[in-house]
Amino acid sequence: MYQLTLAEIARALADKQFSSEELSRSLLARIKQLDPQLNSFITVTEELALEQARAADARRAAGENGALLGAPIGHKDLFCTQDVLTSCASKILQGFKAPYNATVVEKLNAAGTITLGKLNMDEFAMGSANESSHYGAVKNPWDTSRVPGGSSGGSAAAVAARLLPAATGTDTGGSIRQPAALTNLTGIKPTYGRVSRWGMIAYASSLDQGGPLARTAEDCALLLQAMAGFDPKDSTSVEQPVDDYLAALAQPLSGLRIGLPKEYFGAGLDARIGEKVMAVVEELKKLGATVKEISLPNMQHAIPAYYVIAPAEASSNLSRFDGVRFGYRCENPVNLEDLYKRSRGEGFGAEVKRRIMVGTYALSAGYYDAYYLKAQKIRRLIKNDFLKAFNEVDVILGPTTPNLAWKLGEKNADPVSAYLEDIYTITANLAGIPGLSMPAGFVDGLPVGVQLLGNYFQEGRLLNVAHQYQQVSDWHKQTPKGF
């Protein structure tokens, strides 16, 4: 059962091959047995899962037949889940149980999904390796001495190891797509505003976006269909009808115009990854696509702009964690200032402190214009590059990451080298456009991902291209040894 995709689970449940409770019990046993090797879960919600599974079975017995009804998933541990620990993988949220569900959780609950647990992540989603978690690093099931990518590394590792068929993630600068690439999954970051951010604990409010991680584009379409839509509780949510993503999957690719940015294939890209990307391009050409070289000239400024904007927003968002209202509080504070300083000093990890300091500096008097304002102007130039490109092409294709999954601890002494792993993914967040990563093969036994970028609200097009490629390839069907 654990090898089944979400779409296959839906068919099997409809055919009464097994019940949701049987499937959930099987996966819970598998999590108990295998997750100690990976550390992908922070909380396993066994009682909740079995209660939801029995309810889903009752709904099916009464004649309901929704695609996600009875399907087990997990949530990245920054989606608030009622009466369940929501920690953002940080000591400062120690013991915090949200009194409500995030809109994404509520929508997926309504669709009948089963929550098997909350998944490990980089602390407050700050990282590219899932090594900054208060609960310890997550390991990549393809090679447990390596990182699974971040910040949605727990979600990616659990799905790749077949502990779950799919999971939610969030993407602020590549945090769905990069771990998808490093663990052989399909993951999509929707257009900013397509999926509600209400109840999703913020890192950088103008960049964060929730989305699904699964093994196939079809499964991502199933999940995104349930997750997407306008939410009046979220001021950044866009009031626009949701496309039929499943219907879009079957469209032929004849006439599809693919753009290859010359900036993606220069220095810094592992040549072996470049070869895998071009092999995907050749397959898409066989399916009817045409290809042309394009330019995204301001991409070179993306990393510095992102690492001003995101920390600036983080310094503001994380000011609420002060030891007063919820979460961790230092012992025996002598006054209010001591309470603030020690609660935050003891509660936040090193990477979070680094980004808060950078962001506070960038927003301070005398530096706002020099750093934050200039970064926002660069952001607009990057958006303009994409708008110009999408006048010429339908999708933009390139590598998801410049390198393969690296060894645990390898980049800890040099955070900038880890930041550079996001070079191809960050631009989509700065511009607010959708991006998808899909499996494209292996180098030395490690997965390689190809990234597709689309125009605003063109998630259906990205899922369509990925699905059509997955009909003529089987990279997405490969399973890590031992799992």
Catalytic residue numbers read 76, 151, 175
DSSP 145-196: TB---SSSHHHHHHHHTTS-SEEEEEESSSTTHHHHHHHT-EEEEPPTTSB-
Contact 364, 263 (CB under 8 A): no
Q: At what angle do helices 302-317 and 374-389 cross, to 10 degrees?
A: 120
Q: Exposed (0-12), middle (13-18) or buried (19+): which is 3, by Cβ within 10 Å?
A: exposed
Max Cα distance, the chain (Å): 70
Provide the 3-class DSSP secondary structure of residue 114: strand
Q: What is the dihedral of CA 37, 43, 48, 54, to 10 degrees?
A: -20
Angle at 103 between CA 14 and CA 140, to 5 degrees: 70
Separation CA 74–CA 355 (nearest Å): 28
| Closest among 263, 224, 167 to 464, alpha carbons compared | 224
By the 8 A CB rule, do 469 and 438 touch? Answer: yes
Q: Write the burial class of residue 376 (CB in 10 Å: 0-12 exposed, 13-18 middle, 19+ buried).
A: middle
- Give which of 214, 208, 191, 260 is closest to 424, Cα–Cα: 260
Give the CA angle between residues 236, 200, 80 to the nearest 5°: 145
Phi, psi of 179, deg, nearest 5: -65, -30
Q: What is the CB neighbour count within 10 angstroms for residue 320?
A: 12
**Tokens 């996001």 map to which residue?**
422
- The rounded distance, in Å, linking the Cα atoms of 182 and 401 is 8
Query: Tokens for 389?
Result: 């490109």
